[in-house]
Structure 1
């Protein structure tokens, strides 16, 4: 990081103004996405919550407005599990530019059976990775029209211990839910790094950055009814875990910094300071298996075949 960045420490509680900018957060109605949206709304930006559930999006907007007076938030109906719907969703944005998108929406299943999206893809890989992969092409013109557009992909600490099976990306042969989830997040992160390499190759002004929340627990998360409720008893029981992990409000900090900090560069990874699990956001080294360009290229080609489009073309 530059000396300028070091002389002006990033303050998660005093974010820079983003008045006049427009951000889209997929899955902005709950979890990390909700708190990223709330924190971004506090900067004066217009924040669009991408969500397939209108009722949950409405509840999230009510909550954000109650915590951020004057917040400018709106809902965009978006279903990443239905690839054919994404172009029309972007058309409904009705914008001439988009300053940043946060690829946060995701599905995490704990138990079998293996489930599929509308397009017949395994649900977690299809939603978490392929949905955002396809969405990129339709957002490309709006991001390119911004003075310094950003794509921030939200990964997971779980991806560190996984490796992609390029011959079975959708876990058709050997489905273990937690492993499939971790691999879907690894695919997202590999895509985020590969996207930035391709953006640099064509001289695009758009940056692709990857961030992760570390260890983020509901029980350590402040209440935001009706979006989320944490009882005093739950918080008390979770206090010992707070030595190692944090709430989802703090888990959103690296994501928000990746969107806002002018010192952030494309191809970087941002996460919590303490062992990648908790604390203030900082830049992290990219693990070798996430930076493997040969694997990323094969993953990209497979995504193009499964989705029927190449998001890179939208930036050319």
Structure 2
């Protein structure tokens, strides 16, 4: 596992390297952290594709980004990670945009429920696990041909600080016996991160040019996030009330920084985790040392097999695919 090093002196979050010939797909790029990742990447000249469940939300995000980046190259495709059967169409939608390769998949979209009851998708999977982990597991599989067609593609998985205190229970992966929303959310994000590290191990073993990285936003609050109408319209009063918290956390615009760096920095490597400098909660993006339970190969291998079992009915016919499937 790559060791953390001091932040590269050349990296400036306000002066990102140009990327006019690169293409990025951001799941959930129409809101929250994903929106600001899209806005920042659009400023580099890259082609940014917003994956969104509805065209209306993608169009609102496009309007907001173009208000700040008039020359932004933006597209959107329909993407519902909770509907595994629908993900097969993602490569076709990208081909319809004229893409024959994809430089990065940014696995950002997520669901966080605050209270019971436990909810399931139409496929019968617990909603947070299905959206946050299983959907991205399957989507990565379907997008493998486009990623491998790029000279040095990246899969950037957006993790969460919440995963630090959780442990996967592979005997109850879908929280059917003991459902607690915050714990189930943290475990779903841990599953994402465990998958990302295992994916990079398998890619390296197969001598693939694709690399898999993890990044997390730290503590990112709506109240500290600058307005981006019509996507986000925070009130001044809410921002003032949240100012004391700014000593420890940040807005979602800054929370996007580690993800953008993982996607863009030429020095970033597969298997790394990027997060905010200050206690992993706020500040400039730097390398972090992942916790051992996030990178454990034995747990990751069992999770991979369980994920494959749950998604396999929806992956039939996907060729070629990533190593290890």
Shift of 1:191: 0.4
Match of 2:82 in 1: 81
Match of 1:56 in 2: 57
Structure 1: segments with no counterpart, 5+ residues: none
Contact 1:195-1:312 at 8 Å conserved across structures: no
Contact 2:6-2:286 at 8 Å conserved across structures: no
Match of 1:249 among 240, 247, 253: 253
* TM-score (ref. length: structure 2): 0.94
Shift of 1:286: 1.1
For 1:133-144, list aligned pairs within 5 A. Answer: 133-144=137-148
* TM-score (ref. length: structure 1): 0.97
In the superposition, relative to structure 1, how do residues 241 and 263 fare at CA in structure 2: closer, same or farther (>3 Å)?
same
Match of 1:113 in 2: 117
The count of corresponding residues between Structure 1 and Structure 2 is 315
Match of 2:227 among 223, 237, 255: 223
Match of 1:236 among 236, 240, 243: 240
For 1:143-158, list aligned pairs within 5 A. Answer: 143-158=147-162
Match of 1:186 in 2: 190
What per-residue deviation string (whole Å, max 9, x for no partner) do you get for residues 39-98 of structure 1? 000000000000102111110000001110110111100111111111112211112000
Match of 1:24 in 2: 25
CA distance in 1, matches of 2:8, 2:258: 19
Contact 1:30-1:60 at 8 Å conserved across structures: yes
Shift of 1:312: 11
CA distance in 2, matches of 1:177, 1:5: 36
Contact 1:198-1:312 at 8 Å conserved across structures: no
RMSD over aligned CA atoms reads: 1.7
CA distance in 2, matches of 1:230, 1:137: 37
Match of 1:38 in 2: 39
SS state at 2:16 partner: coil
In the superposition, relative to structure 1, how do residues 254 and 7 fare at CA in structure 2: closer, same or farther (>3 Å)?
closer
Q: Does 1:305 align with 2:309?
A: yes
SS state at 1:315 partner: coil
In the superposition, relative to structure 1, how do residues 62 and 112 fare at CA in structure 2: closer, same or farther (>3 Å)?
same
Q: Does 1:206 align with 2:187?
A: no
